[in-house]
């Protein structure tokens, strides 16, 4: 069964040879939560109206100023930076598209004359395989989840002197897939706990990956004779579950994602601050929260680290060093395109919360289309409703992705 959850959606976009199927799935994904009883359009409008009203009551011009008041940057500096990165990325993204068109044409495909949105990921993956000789799916056997987690915990021990131990049964879990861990310091004393929910469950979980707080460290809220309540976090991913006797086999990107989310979790769990409201990730400016996650993610490109976890799950054969070299070389593949994608997300967020009038005649989709025209080399489709699923700015609950 094909769903619109990220693992299923991306598998179709990157590997389905049937172009009609790719188009059908892409259009469904692009318009999710935008029609019938599940249409989020009115909810988005109401959220924006209430945020603007709140800003006015607090004496600000717009909600972006309210949000930035607790961050390091200002609205003007954010907009300047976004435009600077957009301008620097545009020519590279255009070249990405030209390279892709040339590759498709050289491949003899009729799609070269009419590349559409549902073709980009498919042909980009073929180009990446051709250019770097990397088969993303073929690498899965080298990244079994248990081995990856062991390597991640070993790295954390080397970097921070902590030990991560399984603590299943110590706390209730919401699904049998969920693992519970205890984090101990160099004296073998517990300093934190975390849940790890690794597998996709479309009927229960949204797509993507994130980390969030269960409890913050607090001396005031300590119980049962202890001096401090220890922090607890949860990490949630959406990987393919084990099949038969096979463990969950990960793509390299999923390995990066686990390292990334664990970086968020470490920042929360290794705090020494005893005041819950500013402990762990709670006391960090929002525009700085990605630093620990990016730090940990970059260890995936550290040779000794990656080769220590990349072992074939059946034979124990290590990942060939030439494959490691290709992964490093491919790190910045289509970087201009990916940079513009993130600039689109940030720019539409800023515009909706600065100059946009939610009571005026212009729709949120008009705003997004205007932004997309400057941040996508291939013009957006008229029916693009990605905002209806843009939980990062509309879900209302803080999380760390």
pLDDT band of 1, cuts 50, 70, 90: confident
Residues 108 and 168 in one domain: no
pTM above 0.95, yes or no: no
| Cβ neighbourhood burial of 36 (10 Å; 0-12, 13-18, 19+) | exposed
Strands 232-239 and 190-199: parallel
243 with 166, same domain? Answer: yes
Residue 287 maps to a domain: yes
Our count of domains for the chain comes to 2
Q: How far is CA 24 from CA 30, 83, 119, 126, in A?
A: 10, 34, 12, 20
The catalytic position among 125, 254, 256, 261 is: 261
Residue 132: domain span:
33-139+333-394
Q: What pLDDT, on a 0 to 100 scale, did the predictor assign at position 401? A: 58
Residue 140 pLDDT more than 90? yes
Single out the residue in 309, 344, 363 at which a domain terminates: 309
Q: Answer whether residue 28 is part of any domain.
A: no
Q: Who's near 309: CB < 8 A, 6+ residues apart?
A: 143, 147, 148, 150, 151, 152, 255
The pLDDT of residue 382 is: 94
Active site (annotated) includes residue 261: yes
303 within domain boundaries: yes
In a domain, 389, yes or no: yes
Q: Residue 214: left if φ>0, alpha if ψ -120 to 50, beta else—which one?
A: alpha
Q: Give the CATH number of the domain where residue 116 resides.
A: 1.10.1370.10
Predicted pLDDT at 398: 53
Regarding whether 110 and 90 lie in a shared domain, the answer is yes
CA geometry: angle 177, 182, 184, nearest 5 deg: 155
Which candidate, 244, 235, 267, places its Cα nearest to that of 149? 235
Question: What percentage of the chain carries pLDDT values higher than 70?
Answer: 99
Q: Is the pLDDT of residue 29 over 80?
A: yes
What letter would DSSP give residue 377? Answer: S
pLDDT surpassing 90 at residue 98: yes
Distance CA 145, CA 128 (A): 24
SS3 109: coil
Determine, yes or no, domain membership for 18: no
| Mean pLDDT score, 321-349 | 96
In a domain, 323, yes or no: no
| Final residue of a structural domain among 256, 275, 309 | 309
The residues, ordered by sequence, that sit 6+ positions from 106 with a Cβ below 8 Å of its Cβ are none
Give residue-wise pLDDT tens across range 160-190.
Answer: 999 999 999 999 999 999 999 999 999 999 9
How far apart are the C-alpha atoms of 262 and 293, rounded to whole Å? 7
180 lies in the same domain as 249: yes
Instruction: Indicate whether 182 and 286 sit together in one domain.
Output: yes
| 215 Cβ contact list (under 8 Å, min separation 6) | 221, 229, 230, 231, 232, 276
Give yes or no: residues 132 and 244 share one domain. Answer: no
Would you say residue 389 has pLDDT above 80?
yes
Residue 10 within any structural domain of the chain: no
Place of tokens 């700015």: 393
Within 13 A of 277's CA, how many CA atoms are on the CB side?
A: 1
The reply to whether 234 and 114 lie within a common domain is no
Please check whether residues 298 and 189 belong to one and the same domain: yes
Average pLDDT, the chain: 95
What are 249's strand-pairing partners?
Answer: 144
Report d(CA 286, CA 78) in Å as an integer. Answer: 13
Residue at 93 is within a domain: yes
Q: In terms of domains, do 76 and 211 share one?
A: no
Do 98 and 158 fall within a single domain? no
Residue for token pair 């609205």: 75
What CATH number is associated with residue 247?
1.10.1370.40
For residue 324, give both structure tokens: 């490691």
Domain final residue, candidates 309, 325, 357: 309
Q: Do 161 and 274 belong to one domain?
A: yes
Q: Kindly state whether residues 89 and 154 are assigned to the same domain.
A: no
Share of the chain above pLDDT 90, in %: 88
């Amino acid at each position: 069964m094909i769903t619109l959850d990220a693992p299923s959606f991306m598998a179709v976009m990157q590997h389905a040879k049937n172009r009609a199927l790719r188009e059908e799935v892409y259009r469904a994904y692009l318009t999710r939560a935008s029609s019938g009883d599940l249409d989020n359009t009115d909810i988005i409008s109401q959220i924006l109206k209430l945020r603007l009203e709140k800003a006015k009551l607090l004496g600000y011009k717009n909600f972006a100023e309210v949000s930035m008041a607790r961050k390091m940057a200002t609205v003007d500096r954010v907009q300047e930076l976004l435009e600077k990165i957009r301008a620097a990325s545009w020519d590279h993204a255009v070249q990405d598209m030209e390279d892709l068109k040339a590759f498709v044409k050289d491949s003899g495909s009729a799609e070269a004359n009419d590349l559409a949105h549902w073709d980009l990921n498919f042909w980009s993956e073929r180009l990446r395989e051709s250019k770097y000789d990397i088969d993303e799916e073929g690498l899965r056997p080298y990244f079994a989840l248990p081995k990856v987690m062991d390597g991640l915990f070993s790295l954390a021990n080397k970097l921070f002197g902590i030990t991560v131990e399984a603590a299943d049964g110590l706390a209730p879990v919401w699904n049998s897939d969920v693992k519970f861990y205890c984090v101990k310091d160099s004296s073998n004393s517990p300093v934190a706990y975390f849940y790890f929910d690794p597998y996709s469950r479309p009927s229960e979980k949204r797509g993507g990956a994130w980390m969030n707080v269960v409890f913050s460290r607090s001396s005031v809220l300590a119980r049962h004779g202890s001096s401090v309540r220890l922090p607890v976090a949860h990490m949630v991913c959406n990987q393919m579950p084990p099949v038969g006797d096979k463990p969950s086999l990960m793509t390299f990107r999923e390995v990066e994602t686990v390292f990334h989310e664990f970086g968020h979790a470490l920042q929360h769990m290794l705090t020494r601050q005893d005041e819950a409201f500013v402990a762990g990730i709670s006391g960090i400016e929002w525009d700085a929260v990605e630093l620990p996650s990016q730090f940990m993610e970059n260890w995936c490109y550290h040779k000794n680290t990656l080769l220590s976890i990349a072992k074939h799950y059946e034979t124990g054969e290590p990942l060939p060093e030439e494959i490691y070299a290709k992964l490093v070389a491919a790190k910045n593949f289509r970087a201009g395109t990916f940079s513009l994608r993130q600039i689109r997300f940030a720019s539409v967020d800023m515009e909706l919360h600065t100059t946009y009038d939610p009571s005026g005649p212009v729709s949120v989709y008009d705003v997004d289309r205007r932004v997309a025209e400057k941040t996508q080399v291939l013009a957006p489709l008229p029916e693009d409703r990605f905002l209806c699923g843009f939980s990062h700015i509309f879900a209302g609950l803080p999380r760390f992705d």
